[in-house]
Structure 1
Amino acid sequence: MSSWIFKLLLTQLFLVLIQHADSSSIIRYLPGFEGPLPFELETGYIGVGEAEEDQMFYYFIKSERNPKEDPLLVWLTGGPGCSSFSGLVYENGPLAFKVEPYNGSIPSLVSTTYSWTKVANIIYLDQPVGTGFSYSRNPLADIPSDTGSAKRVHEFVRKWLDKHPEYFSNPFYVTGNSYSGKVIPSIVQEISNGNYICCKPQINLQGYVLGNPLTDYDLDFNSRIQFAHGMALISDELNETYRYLLSEYWANNESVRRALKVVKGTKGKWERCDYNVRCNKDIISSIPYHMNISIKGYRSLILSGDHDMTIPFVSTQDWIRSLNYSIIEKWRPWMINNQVAGYTKTYANRMTFATVKGGGHTLEYKPEESSIMFKRWISGQPL
């Protein structure tokens, strides 16, 4: 190949990479939602890792209250391999699918009243690479790992803030549920270490929130028998997958991908949870990370649906108890409209544990109760 042809191809490749890397777009309309969106949505990619070969896709929604001062959250759904879009439409975001018989058209989206974006800015991040619309440019890339994911998310957050410097001073929290309970304490530690060791300006890290978190394999899984003994389980109706299928119909529609600015050809079939995403689960227990970051004084909210058998609340109580912190506020009910919504306990390491009465493995079973709990905690009020 002559040198001028090689240089031409190299230039074209470079332009394509620049166009795709670290791109973002403001989205004002979405297929399936009637009229303009009643909130500010940005989607895009941030390149991380060697040569920025991992392109991490995100949905960013500004707080509906005061985005300049309200907390900034990054939300990670579990799996590993579950898209953060699942959290956005099924758990704590401002959109939900209208459940109606599917007729082959784009599923309808409606507004919610319980979104955490009422009081917080949220980045819903698809990670590890391969999850949701995130992809790698390198087909021979190493298998992602828990510890590697923590470094990638840390890098993502810093690069995202470099592109959105107006949020550097906002209180920052790492949040998520299920399997992300293994990774989030490590991410908090990475960000904290980065603040002290290498990186300016500092991220205004304040703490983390975990919902029904996987923490320690032996502890969590062995507690299932203990929990199931004599416990009434959630109904079959609550376990139905039909609502989940709506998100797959929606995200695999070509008009939706165009609206979200998904890079064409980077993803085949979108799956809400792709359990084929490879991940080296090299964090066996996140308890040591909880210990390390507790010493540094970060706040934390650990919440559990009390009907979750995947990660039973009894195992969560056990590992919190193993931290050996003194109790500041004893076990008590927390209330909504004079009704018991769950139970809570507060520890000396600024950790709050709370159950959601009738809740399952994710926030979707009791979204309003979970939203009220979060709003009280994030504002520093007693639950």
Structure 2
Amino acid sequence: MFSQSKPLLTLLLTILVFFHTFCSSQNVIEYLPGFPGKLPFKLETGYIGLGEKEEVQLFYYFFESEGNPKEDPLLLWLTGGPGCSSIYGAVYEFGPFTIDPSSPSESLPSLVLKDLSWTKMANIIFLDQPVGSGFSYATTPEAFRSNDTYATELDYEFIRKWLISHPKYINNPLYVGGDSYSGITVPLVANNVYKGNEAGIKPLINIKGYMLGNPRTDAFADPNERIPYANRMGLLSDRLYQSARVNCEGNFVNIDPDNALCLNDLDRISQCLDKINDFMILEPKCDSVWRVEGGILSSNKPSSKEIPTNFLQSVVAPVSKPICRNAHLNLIHTWANNKSVRDALHVREGTIEEWVRCNNTIQASVTATDGTGPYVGNVKSVVGYHKALTRKNCRTLVYSGDHDMAFPHTSTEKWIESLKVPLVSDWRPWFLEGQIAGYTMTYGHGDYELTFATIKGAGHTAPEFKPEECFALIARWFAESSL
């Protein structure tokens, strides 16, 4: 009888193993196309199936800490958008490698190592979320539909399942982090983790807090602060700003169509800000990944009129033309869509036709009022979620590039103040190599602490512009030392 049932048992085990492998896979990557030789760090990629029937398959990149992986923090990083691929954050913000910008666009780009990777001090999971981002996909059309609250419930399910399949990290201190639109999702995920622990949901997670960079927080307050911020940065005159403030009654978002004085002021403001790069006010505004608006970028050699005289020298020195920061997007697009790269990353064939940095369909549907798109931004403000976390044993870091007009640091300062957490350390500079790197404040009571910091001269998002300062900021914060 046993001998007859053995083949059946073997078949059932094979089916179970196959099913588990399909729904939750993990692969250690030792070589990546474009990088010479074996990777000098541990990289794992995989999928974890989520939802009632695991119809959502979220793709992740896990970089083990290059320091002390057994004790270093575990950081779950949620890229913004929503709908943007997390590999962009790894490559261009704070992961261990990036794409050589001098790579020819017509061939496979080369990869180079970065000295200022946060993996020097943390284990990091970069998660492609929500479904439809990066290489994440759904097995049914219905599973592509999501919203802020449901997506973050799946993110919580993801970290539980990931820790179950990676038990050696279960005691590492966990932080949830993200930037831009993830200012909405990160507080929701953090709240889910704390509530799950309180409800006894296994595995219990050793969460210590969360961090946010240049975060979106409130659908009204953030955009409404852009005009006051522009005035503070010298982009609008005091006269024009004060006129708009009075005529629009401080509301620059929900405009009364019959308020002619307000509309006139806002039209003049639009003319002043139209060619300003919201994400970094000092850099050119690009209308594509290849050129700058107004023809600033060109393959033609500069004429003599474009070569200013350097009065400190006796010769006329040519000045290089400004380059669009996002001009490198064509390189990562080429790399991520190369078949050898997809094979190396173990991306499942037939799931994603083309990798894109950000899923425009998801982004466009966030603010749609008809709710017909694949993603609904159903949480308009997370200030209440932040408030709830002030009652937890929680460390919070919020940092902002001070030249970001899309999500101004002044708006962030206002919602932090609205939490009514006692001030521990007032506004002061923080330093790197003897120079002011930004400014910081600390709030706290009991087991809760919130650190706010600006990064001087950075835009959206800060690590892309000031990697040295951001590396120092994160290292000091993880070490619980003063900035």
Distance change (3 Å), C-alpha of 1:144 and 1:200: same
> Is residue 2:335 matched to residue 1:250?
yes
Instruction: Decide whether the 8 Å contact of 1:28 with 1:36 is kept in 2.
Output: yes
Tell me the equivalent position of 2:39.
37
What is the percentage of aligned positions where both structures have the same residue? 49
Show CA shifts across 1:28-55 (max 9, x none): 0101111111100000000011211101
| Equivalent in the alignment of 1:326 | 422
2:440 is the counterpart of 1:356: no
Distance 1:196 1:112, change over 3 A: same
Q: CA deviation at 1:80?
A: 0.4
Q: Secondary structure, in 3 states, of the residue corresponding to 1:350? A: strand
Tell me the distance in 2 between the aligned counterparts of 1:11 and 1:141.
28
* Alpha carbons 2:41, 2:66 under 8 Å: kept: yes
* Cα separation, 2, equivalents of 1:63 and 1:140: 37
Aligned pair count reads 374
Deviation track 1:42-84 (CA, whole Å, cap 9, x = no partner) reads 0000001121110110000000010000000000110001111
| CA displacement, residues 178-230 of structure 1 (integer Å, 9 cap, x when unaligned) | 00000110100101111110412310000001000000011100011111125
- Alpha-carbon distance between aligned partners in 2 of 1:263 and 1:205, rounded to the nearest angstrom: 31
- Shifted more, 231-240 versus 294-303: the winner is 231-240
Q: Which residue of 2 aligns with 1:4?
A: none
Name which of 46, 49, 59 aligns with 1:47. 49
C-alpha distance in 2 between matches for 1:166 and 1:149: 26
* Aligned-partner Cα distance in 2 for 1:25–1:84: 17
Scaled by the length of structure 1, the TM-score of the pair is 0.94
Partner residue of 1:284 out of 374, 380, 383:
380
Where 1:361 maps in the other structure, the secondary structure is coil
Is there any run of 5+ residues in structure 1 with no aligned partner, and where?
Answer: 1-9
The CA deviation string for residues 4-25 of structure 1, in whole angstroms up to 9 with x for no partner, is xxxxxx9999876444210110
What value does the CA root-mean-square deviation take over the aligned residues? Answer: 1.7
Tell whether the 8 Å contact from 2:44 to 2:63 is kept in structure 1 after alignment: yes
Aligned 8 A contact 2:164 2:203 in 1: no
Map of 1:1-383 to 2, 5 A cutoff? 17-100=19-102, 102-141=104-143, 143-229=145-231, 231=233, 233-236=281-284, 237=322, 239-277=324-362, 278-348=374-444, 349-362=448-461, 363-383=463-483
Runs in 1 of length 4+ with deviation above 4 angstroms?
A: 10-17
Letter matched to residue 29 of structure 1: Y
Distance in 2 (CA, whole Å) between partners of 1:178 and 1:18 is 34
Greater shift, 268-277 or 254-263, is seen at: 268-277
Q: Tell me if structure 2 keeps the 8 A contact 1:216–1:287.
A: yes
How far apart in 2 are the matches of 1:376 and 1:352?
11
Alpha carbons 1:20, 1:263 under 8 Å: kept: no
Q: TM-score, normalised by structure 2?
A: 0.75
| Compared CA separation, residues 168 and 382, structure 1 to 2 (3 A) | same
- Could you list the per-position Cα deviations for residues 252-311 of structure 1 after superposition, in whole angstroms to 9, with x for gaps in the alignment? 000000000000000011001112133110111010000001111310000000000110
Matched residue type, 1:68: K
Deviation at 1:367, TM superposition (A): 1.2
**Structure 2: any 5+ residue segments left out of the alignment?**
1-11, 235-280, 285-321, 363-373
Q: 1:305·1:356 contact (CA, 8 Å) conserved in 2?
A: yes
CA distance in 1 between partners of 2:58 and 2:117 (Å): 23
